[in-house]
Amino acid sequence: MALYEVLHDTIYRYDSAVLLSQQIAHLRPRKRAGQHTLAHALEIEPAPAQCSEARDFFGNPVTRFALHAPHAQLAVRARSRIRVDAPAWPDPAASPPWEAARDHLRDGLSGHAPLQADARDAGQYRFASPFVALGDEAAAYADYALQCFTPGRPLLAALRALSARIHADFRFDPTATSVATPVAEVFAARRGVCQDFSHLMIACLRALGLAARYVSGYLLTEPPPGQPRLIGADASHAWVALWCPGPGWIDVDPTNDLQPGAGHITLAWGRDYGDVCPLRGVILGGGGHQVDVAVTVMPVDEDSRPAALDAPQ
């Protein structure tokens, strides 16, 4: 078990005054097996005229808020205290052949076979989405994945092999892409960041008829030996979950080629990044803008008291 306090600071600075602003935040960590949000607070400056909590289509907690007064800057700080237990992942070799997962979803959703209880929900993650376009490139993604998804191979063993292949073939380069870079460009350039590698892996899995979803969250990073942890030096992270008959959703992190443990903190999940963007909205005015984001993931002791946090929901 690990206990963390997470600070996620976002500051928008506008070239001219914003007259109206409507925003949606995915900043409260999601409750899931092995993860519990003990406390959470969201600080917004200037103070919003309206603010409400809800769940989105995928069951993620969201905060909707609106600013009705002119402002030249928007600052949002999310502070959360989370307990994470390291998951016990199933033995990859004991999972069913990958074709069985594909066929179960395909036949069940078409009404030709009974579905496992959670498979109908999983079915929505088999198809293209705004950030994971398939189209003409689907065959290329399938060919790339089939080097790992050989006939009869256990599903989770093939998943781990695909993670290892992406990790080996693609270079982490934060200057190579932006939020809007298409998967096809990432596939051709062989470089990008965790969002890109997650979208690529999802494209490969969906091209085979499997159900894969995008998971956003945080990753505990360790400073170099002898150096202290720096406030704001961590970052948002992204990884992938694949649906497997029997155990259900199984997470894998292709950026680091590992299965998430107690150092991964889940914020939200959806079809792709667009469904779980930490902060997005529409504004009237503002002109250009600059955005600065700083994330701090700090391990804390069980006896330490969280500062200025609300009770969990």
CA dist 239 → 11, 89, 191, 216, 310 (Å)? 25, 15, 16, 7, 28
CATH architecture of 92-260: Roll (3.10)
pLDDT at 228 over 70: no
pLDDT at residue 301, as a whole number: 85
Helix (H) or strand (E) holding 204: helix 194-207
Q: How far apart are CA 174 and CA 118, in angstroms?
A: 36
SS3 178: coil
pLDDT at residue 141, as a whole number: 97
- Give percent above pLDDT 90 in the chain: 79
152-208 pLDDT, tens digit each: 999 999 999 999 999 999 999 989 999 899 999 999 999 999 999 999 999 999 999
Q: How far apart are CA 124 and CA 228, in angstroms?
A: 44
Q: Across-strand partners of 82?
A: 4, 37
Q: How many CA atoms lie within 13 A of 240 on its CB side?
A: 34
pTM higher than the cut 0.85 = yes
pLDDT at residue 304, as a whole number: 64
Residue 116 amino acid letter: Q
pLDDT band at residue 222 under the 50/70/90 scheme: confident
286-299 pLDDT, tens digit each: 989 999 999 999 99
DSSP assignment of 262-283:
TTEEEEEEESSHHHH-SEEEEE
Provide the residue ranges of all domains of the chain, joining segments of one domain with +.
Answer: 2-85+277-299, 92-260
Residue 275 amino acid letter: D
Non-local CB neighbours of 83 within 8 Å, separated by 6+ positions: 1, 2, 3, 4, 35, 36, 38
Helix (H) or strand (E) holding 51: strand 50-55
Indicate if the alpha-carbon torsion angle 197, 106, 130, 281 is positive or negative: negative
DSSP assignment of 61-97:
EEEEEEE-S-EEEEEEEEEEEEEEPPP-PPPGGGSPB
85-114 pLDDT, tens digit each: 988 999 999 999 999 999 988 887 666 666
Burial class from Cβ neighbours inside 10 Å (0-12, 13-18, 19+) for residue 67 reads buried
pLDDT at 306 over 90: no
CATH T-level fold of 2-85+277-299: Immunoglobulin-like (2.60.40)
